[in-house]
Structure 1
Amino acid sequence: MTTIVTTSPAFGTIGRVPEAIAERDWTLIRCTDTDKPQGGVGEHLDTMEIMVVGLIGADKNLINNAPRLKAILKHGVGVDNIDIPAATAKGIPVINAPGTNANAVAELVLGSMLSLARRIPMVHKVVVEGGWQRHVGSEIEGKTLGIVGLGCIGRSLAAKAVALGMRVVASDLKPDMEFVEKHGIELRSLDELLSEADYVSLHVFGGKDNSKLIGAEQIALMKPTAYLLNFARGEIVDLDALAAALDKEELLGAAIDAYEQEPPDISHPIFKHPRVVFTPHSGADTKESVERMGLMNVQDIDAVLAGEPSPRVLNPEIYK
């Protein structure tokens, strides 16, 4: 019997995934207690064979003290909370689930754009409080969407935006030119994109290389009528600079789904702005997305237990 420890609240709970786990007679232990270090994973290091990571990660100490650990999988895409070098040193494959959350995140971005354009959270609050303050918003058709990062999520968002009549400009180090040409996307440098776009949506990896990618200097390039959307990682945006720009009306609004600290410290000035839409890092949280992730994780666990490499392994050098 294989013991799987997960720090994801959703892994193995939705769709066909619970049945798939039961059919394989795996033992699934969920460690999501925020009052315990790493959710309580430390209590199961001696028996853990597979770790499925959620927002609580796998650091070097955990990896080095799990003697039976055969693989680390991410129930999602971003692996910035997994110490891949430490896993590689132990010969442990690290595997994520690319593309499984792309549609879910892209749809939430579009929903946030519409919420900002029509001030939906604000007018909802007015109505339920007994008021009748109407607001003249704007349409997203004909507007320019700037996408920073044309990975799976960025491409899904771009295709939907084009279908809604938006002009799409994008910045990417290695763009998929076939996709770009098919959808009429215009490539730009980051600075050019920031100056042109009515909506700027961020879809790049986190980590030190992209820390404060969008700061005061970059925000200053944006139109005062533009919106900034961060559905990637919290460290990518300098929240101090964003709050200051909103205070000075140098930016019209923002939508934020990812934070450096989660849950975030709501004493930060950004959380007092009525022109910002907040969501709790829930871009991937749809039944369909969670099921796709879980089934892909199950498929990769099968491969690991059979001694086969997964096509999604992020450190393939362990097989050499």
Structure 2
Amino acid sequence: MYKIISTSPTFGKYSKKPLELLSRNHCEVTFLSNQTPFFKTDFIEALKEADGLILGFENITDEILSNAPKLKIIAKHGTGVDNIDIVAAQKRGIVVANAQGANRHAVADFVFGTMLSISRKICESSNLVKRGDWQSIIGNDIYGKTLGVIGTGKIGKEVIRRAKGFNMDILAFDLYPDRTLEQLNLVKYVSFDELIGTADIITIHADLSNKSASMIGKSEFDRMKKEALLINTARGGIVDEDALYEALYSKKIKGAALDVFQTEPLGNHKLLELDNFFATPHIAGYSEEALVEVGFITARNIINVLSGLDAEYEVSPCEGGLN
């Protein structure tokens, strides 16, 4: 029987079928919650006998991996792997895998829900009515606007497909452009500076890496349109939150919506004081349908590796991580 540790708060929560799949393949899962007082001690102790790890949000460093002599796979229950030292894992012969694309529809839907909500001031209007205040708040259309998409991977592509239904003019930036999108007349790839200065709405779908850390800072906000909206459902470190606060406070840009932050949970952040700031608790990829699919991919990644096969979605160091 293989010993598997899960620190993910949602693995197996919305469907037991991924757990059943692991059980049928001789894997016994132990759940550890980082909300318990002795989590760190329990986690290190459990790693000593673990064959596989289903990872939530904990940072996995080389020091932590030194306590895991039997570990063969770290399966991220999700997409982002910036909390894993991938190089250190691979040096120890540990496969790092994630569930690429499993939540792409959930995130793309969320981006458009957010876009519509902040553009049409839906939340503000609902709150007024609930307080007994019946008045019209005038927002803006997103139909026909210029959308800037930073990152055209699986999620970025789904955002682009939805944007075409709104007759949006779509600009894109990616270090590795998918020219097929241009050939299909779905997007126009432009420089990062052109996208920042031209788009009415900017949505981020890039991994967090040395190249993308603080990609959106003071100079970028200075070049954005005054009516621009910024949406980040990717990773918190991509946006300089102090620079964002200044841009919103001084009305350099019209508004911003973040689902991800440099430190989570957010706590008492000064951004929350601003009327033109919209915040959600890292839930863009968390639809029930997406979580079930992520669970199955996570389980199959573990089963494959422990059976001597390739993971469905193995991650390489160039795709991000703590290295």
**Normalised TM-score (structure 2):** 0.93
Residues 120-129 or 20-29, more deviating: 20-29
User: 2: CA distance between counterparts of 1:183 and 1:63?
Assistant: 46
Between the aligned partners of 1:283 and 1:120, the Cα distance in structure 2 is: 18
- Are residues 1:84 and 2:64 paired? no
Stretches of structure 1 lacking an aligned partner (at least 5 in a row): none
Q: Which moved more, 1:55-64 or 1:191-200?
A: 55-64
Contact (CA 8 Å) 1:194, 1:200: kept in 2 or not? yes
Asked if residue 64 in structure 1 is aligned to residue 66 in structure 2, the reply is yes
Q: Which string of whole-angstrom CA distances, capped at 9 and with x for unpartnered residues, describes residues 253-308 of structure 1?
A: 11100111110132x32111122211111111011111111111121212112111
d(CA) in 2 for partners of 1:90, 1:79: 17
Once the two structures are superposed, the pairs formed by residues 269-288 of structure 1 within 5 Å of their partners are 269-288=270-289
SS at match of 1:220: helix
3-state SS of 1:168 partner: strand
After superposition, give the CA deviation of every residue in 1:80-130 in whole Å (9 maximum; x if it has no partner).
101111111111111111111111111101000001111111111111112
Distance 1:36 1:219, change over 3 A: farther
Stretch of structure 1 that moved more, 89-98 or 9-18: 9-18
Correspondences of 1:204-219 after superposition (within 5 Å):
204-219=206-221
Moved more, 55-64 or 224-233: 55-64
Matching residue of 1:48: 50
Separation (CA, whole Å) in 1 of partners of 2:104 and 2:41? 27
Tell me which amino acid in the other structure corresponds to 2:65.
Answer: I
Is 1:6 aligned to residue 10 of structure 2? no
Query: 1 or 2 for the larger relative contact order (CA 8 Å, sep ≥6)?
Result: 2
Match among 101, 119, 140 for residue 103 of structure 2: 101
Match of 1:255 in 2: 257
| Residues in 2 aligned to 1:180 and 1:9: alpha-carbon distance in whole angstroms | 39
SS of residue in 1 equivalent to 2:223: coil
**1:29 and 2:33 equivalent?**
no
Q: Using the alignment, how far apart are the partners of 1:273 and 1:183 within structure 2?
A: 38
Q: For 1:135-146, what aligned pairs fall within 5 Å after superposition?
A: 135-146=137-148
Aligned-residue offset at 1:184: 2.5
**Paired amino acid for 2:270:** P
In the alignment, is residue 294 of structure 1 matched against residue 291 of structure 2? no
Q: How many angstroms apart in 2 are the aligned matches of 1:46 and 1:2?
A: 13
Preserved contact between residue 122 and residue 274 of structure 1 (Cα < 8 Å) = no
What pairs with 1:195-274 in structure 2 (closer than 5 Å)?
A: 195-266=197-268, 268-274=269-275
Task: State yes or no: 1:307 paired with 2:316.
Answer: no
Question: Does the Cα contact within 8 Å between 2:147 and 2:170 map onto a contact in 1?
Answer: yes
Shift of 1:38: 4.7
| Alpha-carbon distance in 2 for matches of 1:121, 1:128 | 11
Contact 2:22 2:303 in 1 (8 A): no
**What secondary structure is seen at the aligned counterpart in 2 of 1:208?**
coil
Give, in angstroms, the shift of residue 163 of structure 1: 1.7
Gaps of 5+ in 2: 318-323
State how far apart, in whole Å, the 2-side matches of 1:277 and 1:123 are.
14
Aligned to 2:321: none
Tell me the CA shift for residue 37 of structure 1.
Answer: 5.0
The alignment of Structure 1 onto Structure 2 pairs a total of residues equal to 315
Task: Percent identity, please.
Answer: 35
Q: 1:223 to 1:38 in 2, by over 3 A?
A: farther
Give how far 1:216 is off: 0.8
Q: Quick one: distance in 1 between partners of 2:143 and 2:159?
A: 14
Note if contact 1:145-1:198 (Cα within 8 Å) is conserved in structure 2.
yes
Cα distance between partner residues in 1 of 2:22 and 2:41: 21
CA contact (8 A) 2:300 2:312 kept: no
String of CA shifts for 1:192-236, please: whole Å, max 9, x gaps: 001111100011111332221100100111111110111111111
| Equivalent position SS for 1:28 | strand
Q: Alpha carbon RMSD of aligned pairs, Å?
A: 1.7
Amino acid at match of 2:2: T
